[in-house]
Amino acid sequence: MKVVIAQMKHETNTFSPVPTPLARFAGDAALPLQGADAYQAYKGTGTAIGAFIELAEEAGAQIVLPVAASAWPSGPVEDAAFEHIVKRIVDAVADGCDAVLLDLHGAMVTRTYEDGEGELLRRLRAIAPEVPIGVALDMHTNLFPAMVDHATVLAGYQTYPHIDMFETGLRAGRAVFAMLAGRARPVMAWGNRPMLPHVMRQGSDDSPNRELQARCKEMELQGALCASVFVGFPNADVSQAGLSALVVTDGDETRARRWCDELLDMAWAARAGFAYEPEPLAASLARAQALRATLADDAGPVVLLDHSDNCASGGTMDTMTVLGAILDAGLQDVAAFAICDPGAVQRMMHAGIGAEIQLALGGKLDMPALDLGGQPRGVKGRVRLLCDGHYRNRGPMARGEHNHMGPTAVLDTGKAEIVVVSRQVEPHDLAAFQAVGIDPASKRFLMLKSRVHWRAGLRALAGAVVECAGTGVCTSDYAALRFTRLRRPMYPLDPL
Ligand SMILES: [Zn+2]
């Protein structure tokens, strides 16, 4: 038995000015990982592709791994990047195989296609009409009809932060191997509702997503092969952005339809719980200081979430609104992770450890989709640390996966330690802090450019959490986003 396993992951923020060429999928190499290198990078990791490798080896299958391409969220994917990745997968399948297992995101927008995954699957189905195709998807999938039409089994993460990537790979993969063994005949039903759940309200520990995901798990215990609610990715101006559901059963189309509709009705009834009203920044910082005063010294930091500039939602990671307000307010004993400013890192490297330096930090990228120019901020401090920015995730999210912040520096202002990176990386893992010699648990305040994923590795150490509305292309204010392709009406943008 021969199985083609591949990864093509990108969550596209169509409002983001951060470019997405092939190099963004390639890390330090010239091209994305392939073959033995991809196998080595993902074998044994807590990822969907890691699960596919494990299942295929259990089945004694020959594995062909044409490409493992994953990039941090950013603007639309360049056509050349998309075509490179897709060609590698299509060529591998064209050589013949018994099954295809794909680790996809489900919200890839390219310069040409608003549904990158659907286009990949369409091309695969055209050359392999009978081959089972199993796909693991992110919970932030914006599900398009073509993805369902041209795949055999789709399964989405059931946690946010995404700590079940591996389990999702197992769910999708097992259904495909059961089919190959003649033990299952997967059928799918899917649908959506005109609602755009806010990312700040999508955490799977919070209602209403907690109840939706619990019902998915219950359906799987009751016989569904895979049950998924995709909360969708709202910072994408595409026709199918928003919430959807998909249920796979063993040959029972009626049951799949009924369960899918039940999930969609549950979500629609709970739609008000997915809406989010940002608090003015000054009020948030005043609240943070008041909270700090009530906490014991060893209670852990007050976490300040700069949620408008989360790079895992396509943020530039260089807006200075929240950090600037923190510096202006004179908060003491702060760690900030992170500002992406490769030029500032180079200046600090040139100055050397211990040097006092004045920087125009951040604000290098304009955000034309929001009619905003980049605004650097003058910051003075001492270069405390320089490093290469490599680390490996400890988990629980994407355990074992390699991360690379690029050349990295820590600037110490006396009151704040500011991590400055050269590549966007969301702080969801303690290893990111260990790489820069900061113990976040010992800080009074911890500013994170994150929305929900930080909870995966850092929630246990937080004394309190305050959401801070800054500036950025993952703004939490839907009114700042100009939607032109999104289907309407859409809750909560329109009265429904
Ligand atoms: Zn996601």
Q: What is the average per-residue pLDDT within 17-42?
A: 95
Q: What DSSP designation does 461 have?
A: G
The one-letter amino acid at 492: P
Cis preceding-peptide flag for 325 (omega within 30 of 0): no
Which pLDDT does position 114 carry in this prediction? 98
Question: Does 395 have pLDDT greater than 90?
Answer: no
How many whole angstroms separate alpha carbon 211 and alpha carbon 158? 11
Is 400 within the bounds of a domain? yes
Domain edge (last residue) among 241, 274, 307:
274
Same domain, 206 and 132: yes
Is 104 within the bounds of a domain? yes
Same domain, 241 and 306: no
Is 44 within the bounds of a domain? yes
Query: Is-contact 227 216, C-beta < 8 A?
Result: yes
Same domain, 216 and 255: yes
Q: What is the average per-residue pLDDT within 346-361?
A: 98
Is 485 within the bounds of a domain? no
How many whole angstroms separate alpha carbon 360 and alpha carbon 436? 21
Residue 264 C-alpha to ligand 1 middle, in angstroms? Answer: 19
Which pLDDT does position 28 carry in this prediction? 81
Residue 462 C-alpha to ligand 1 middle, in angstroms? Answer: 22
Which pLDDT does position 236 carry in this prediction? 98
Domain span at 446: 281-476
Question: Does 225 have pLDDT greater than 90?
Answer: yes
Confidence class for position 495, pLDDT limits 50, 70, 90? confident
pTM (2 d.p.): 0.96
Decide the pairing of beta strands 377-387 and 408-412.
antiparallel
Is 239 within the bounds of a domain? yes
Question: Does 27 have pLDDT greater than 90?
Answer: no
Decide the pairing of beta strands 464-468 and 62-64.
unpaired
Distances (CA, A) of 134 to 50, 406, 461: 14, 34, 38
Helix (H, G, I), strand (E, B) or coil at 17: coil
Same domain, 246 and 213: yes
Which pLDDT does position 496 carry in this prediction? 82
Residue 112 C-alpha to ligand 1 middle, in angstroms? Answer: 23
Residue 346 C-alpha to ligand 1 middle, in angstroms? Answer: 31
Which tokens go with 435? Answer: 């790489």
Same domain, 416 and 369: yes
Same domain, 260 and 337: no
Question: What is the tens place of the pLDDT at every residue in 369-392?
Answer: 999 999 999 999 999 999 999 999
Number of domains, the chain: 2
How many whole angstroms separate alpha carbon 37 and alpha carbon 26? 12
Is 482 within the bounds of a domain? no
Is 194 within the bounds of a domain? yes
Query: Is-contact 348 420, C-beta < 8 A?
Result: yes
Domain edge (last residue) among 274, 294, 312:
274
Question: What is the tens place of the pLDDT at every residue in 45-103?
Answer: 999 999 999 999 999 999 999 999 999 999 999 999 999 999 999 999 999 999 999 99
Which pLDDT does position 68 carry in this prediction? 98
Burial class (CB in 10 A: 0-12, 13-18, 19+), 440: buried
Same domain, 192 and 241: yes
Residue 90 C-alpha to ligand 1 middle, in angstroms? Answer: 25
- Angle, helix 48-58 to helix 165-180, in steps of 10 degrees: 40
> 158 phi and psi, to 5 degrees?
-115, 10
Which string of DSSP letters, residue by residue, matches 227-251?
EEEE---SS---TT-S-EEEEEEES
Question: What is the tens place of the pLDDT at every residue in 155-202?
Answer: 999 999 999 999 999 999 999 999 999 999 999 999 999 999 999 999
Which pLDDT does position 194 carry in this prediction? 98
Same domain, 58 and 152: yes
Which pLDDT does position 290 carry in this prediction? 97
Residue 162 C-alpha to ligand 1 middle, in angstroms? Answer: 7
Question: What is the tens place of the pLDDT at every residue in 260-283?
Answer: 999 999 999 999 999 999 999 999
Is 483 within the bounds of a domain? no
Decide the pairing of beta strands 2-9 and 99-104.
parallel
Angle at CA of residue 242, ends 69 and 401, nearest 5°: 25
Residue 399 C-alpha to ligand 1 middle, in angstroms? Answer: 15
CATH of the domain at 236: 3.40.50.2300
Confidence class for position 356, pLDDT limits 50, 70, 90? very high
Same domain, 255 and 299: no
Residue 10 C-alpha to ligand 1 middle, in angstroms? Answer: 10
The single residue listed with the structure tokens 């305050």 is 466
Helix (H, G, I), strand (E, B) or coil at 434: helix
Which pLDDT does position 29 carry in this prediction? 87
Query: Is-contact 155 248, C-beta < 8 A?
Result: yes
Give Cα 135 distance to the centre of its chain.
Answer: 17
Domain edge (last residue) among 213, 244, 274:
274
Which tokens go with 333? Answer: 């004993």
Question: What is the tens place of the pLDDT at every residue in 275-315?
Answer: 999 999 999 999 999 999 999 999 999 999 999 999 899 99
Same domain, 320 and 406: yes
Which pLDDT does position 128 carry in this prediction? 98
Same domain, 88 and 62: yes
Q: Edge-to-edge strand order for the sheet containing 244-250?
A: 186-192, 244-250, 226-230
**Cα Rg for the chain, rounded, in angstroms?**
22
Same domain, 299 and 151: no
Residue 95 C-alpha to ligand 1 middle, in angstroms? Answer: 32
